[in-house]
Structure 1
Amino acid sequence: MNARPLRPVMSVDEVNSFLDEAFPQLNGANRDYEAISITPGACVVRLHAGYRHLRPGDTVSGPALFTLADIGGYVCVLSHTGPEALSVTTNLNINFMRKATAGPIDGHCRILKLGKSLMVFDIDMRAGAGLTVAHATGTYAIPPKHVVT
């Protein structure tokens, strides 16, 4: 756990607006991926999985779930460190547990450690009856604060 208490510095609306501005290619005309809630040390993100996210067999594709995991980490780092577009993924490991079909998939993300330059997180992605369809762990690099002189 973190030595200091974690407090969000951005709201859900602020994060979603920031994603729309800084990362417009994520959703295009639709809001397929979005932040749903932000709490101290955690967030919930959602994939509205539709036809374009399916692979043969009507299964939500691995890349769509991988993106949900990555967005979960990004929302956690943004909401707890501020609107820095250049926070980047340095590691992401995913395990696919069971088939997910079209519909909402919620990623329950929590910060495991937040330091000055790195944030470690995990995310449990659940669909339908709340069953885990994938689980991931990852690390985000946080750029140093720029001092203007």
Structure 2
Amino acid sequence: MTPADIQARAHAGVPLAAAMGIEVLEAASGRALLRLPPSPLVMRPGGTLSGPAIMGLCDVAIWAAFLSLTGGADDARTQNLAVTFLRPTGTAALLAEARVVRQGRRVVYAEVWLTPEGAEAPSGHCTSTWMVVA
């Protein structure tokens, strides 16, 4: 699947991803790079991206990385998602770099590093376990 294919699939399967404007920039070999542009929908008071928007971005980024491994087979679901917020994101677009760390027969483990566009240091880290349901 191309990044455009995965983005279309994510927007159709998770309409909130489309509403938030999540973009799939890269996706191959169990890795994906996504971008969440700033908009009033995803901002919280104080001039930073909201936690729920960031967690949604992480979940979609892991899904994109997983789909890049399976050729589009969608037989896993989020079992656990943990985000560590390291610093405020500010108002810049947020980049999510996801990678599947381990893909077993029944469990997929992945991580995401979150970095505001143009920043050097990450603003967050996410880990997630997915259960294969097929």
Amino acid at match of 1:74: W
List alignment gaps of at least 5 residues for structure 2: none
Q: Which amino acid aligns with 2:131?
A: A
The 1-side partners of 2:119 and 2:64 are apart by 24
Hey, what does 1:132 align to over in structure 2?
A: 122
Residue 23 of structure 1: CA displacement?
A: 2.4
User: Alignment RMSD, CA only?
Assistant: 1.7
Alignment correspondent of 1:52? 41
Is 1:61 matched up with 2:78?
no
Larger Rg: 1
Query: Contact 1:73–1:140 (CA<8 Å) still a contact in 2?
Result: no
- Residues 86 and 40 from structure 1, CA distance in 2 versus in 1: closer, same or farther, beyond 3 angstroms? closer
- Of 94, 104, 109 in structure 2, the residue corresponding to residue 120 of structure 1 is 109
1:24 counterpart residue number: 15
Percent identity of equivalent pairs: 24
TM-score using structure 1 length? 0.80
CA contact (8 A) 1:120 1:138 kept: yes
How far the C-alpha of 1:103 sits from its partner, in A, is 2.6
Q: Which is further off, 17-26 or 50-59?
A: 17-26
Q: Which residue of 2 aligns with 1:109?
A: 98
> Could you tell me how far 1:78 is from its partner in structure 2?
1.5
CA distance in structure 1 between the partners assigned to 2:11 and 2:48 by the alignment: 27
Aligned length: 133
CA drift of 1:58 comes to 0.7
What TM-score results when the alignment is normalised by the length of structure 2?
A: 0.88
Are 2:29 and 2:65, in contact at CA under 8 Å, matched by a contact in 1? no
Cα shift at 1:117: 2.3
TM-fit CA distance, 1:91: 0.7
CA distance in 2, matches of 1:40, 1:119: 14
Counterpart code for 2:101: L
